Copies of this chain bind each other. A is one copy, B any other.
Amino acid sequence: MTPSSFRTWQSVQAEVLRRIHARDWKPGDLIPNEADLAVEFGCARATVNRALRAVAETGLLDRRRKAGTRVAAQPVAKATLEIAVIRHEVEARGDTYDHLLIERHYLTPPLAISGAMRTGSTEKLLHVRALHLAEGAPYALENRWINMRVVPEAMNEPFDRVSANEWLLQHAAYTHGDIAFSAIQANGADADSLGIAENSAVLAIDRLTWNREASVTKVQLLFTPGYQLRTGL
């Protein structure tokens, strides 16, 4: 057995993945420690560390100090969805993008909204409803609430040329947020805006973002039937 040379962390990663896929290292198995692998691969421990860390991030390895590194018994598939600005998403498909502001009001929101956004129950928020179009056809419907205490500049923004979707990314930073994906039946108004039959199944993306302790914006995007959110594994 030649002390085969894997000098880059990528090649070490590839070899580690090969061994896992070839079931040379089976689910649940404890693999050799970094120092031993470094000797075997003919590289520095830091290089092995970098490779193992990368594999562990995909969920295929479990690492614990002292306990060592083992192949995940039941790897949790991690699908990373890239939620881009809708204009970019549409243009990336080679379609022409367009945007239509439906309504824009400054008003007291329903309790469900002020509750989720932790704004006062009587505090007014900016409400924007807009339609995103691809090749002239409805693509997604945006229903958004904006916390004016956090993004006061939004008050002067008409959102007719630049969508709120895009404007906020440029003008309002967030520290964290939640996102949820679900299937819902389009109600009358929404179905109407999207130009689809009432009760059609549409994919909904609900996002709520925060800046420190304050909510920035809460948005629901409804995509026309047939829309698929895809990614690799």
Interface residue ranges, A against B (CB under 8 Å):
17, 20-21, 23, 27, 59, 73-85, 88, 166, 169-170, 173-185, 199-204, 206-207, 209, 211, 223, 225-233
Q: Which of A88, A179, A207 lies at the interface centre, i.e. has the most chain B CB atoms within 10 A of its CB?
A: A179
Partner of A179 from the list B23, B77, B173, B201 (CB cut-off 8 Å) is: B77
| Chain A contact residues, majority secondary structure | strand
Question: Contact: B230 with A178, CB < 8 Å?
Answer: yes
The residue on B at minimum CB distance from A82 is B76
The 7 A-B pairs with the shortest beta carbon distances in the complex, nearest first, are A183-B183, A201-B201, A177-B233, A183-B203, A77-B83, A183-B201, A181-B229
Say whether A80 contacts B78, CB under 8 Å.
Answer: yes
Q: How far is the CA of A59 from the CA of B84 in the complex (A)?
A: 10
Contact yes or no, A184 B201, CB < 8 A: yes
- CB-based contact B170/A27 at 8 Å: yes
* Chain B residues near A78 (CB-CB < 8 A): 80-83
Contact A76 B80 (CB under 8 A): no
Q: Which of A20, A27, A173 has the most C-beta atoms of chain B within 10 angstroms of its own C-beta? A: A173
**A-B CB contact pairs (8 Å), 7 listed:** A17-B175, A176-B232, A181-B228, A182-B227, A184-B201, A185-B200, A203-B203
Chain B residues, CB < 8 A from A73:
170
> What residues on B are CB-neighbors of A223 within 8 Å?
183
- Determine which of B79, B166, B227, B232 lies in contact with A80 in the assembled complex, contact meaning CB atoms within 8 Å: B79
> With A182-B227, A211-B21, A229-B180 given, is the CB distance from A79 to B74 under 8 Å?
no
User: In the complex, what distance in Å separates the CA atom of A92 from the CA atom of B20?
Assistant: 27
Q: Which residues of B contact A20 (CB under 8 A)?
A: 173
Given the interface pairs A88-B74, A173-B21, A201-B202, the reply to whether A183 lies near B83 with Cβ below 8 Å is no
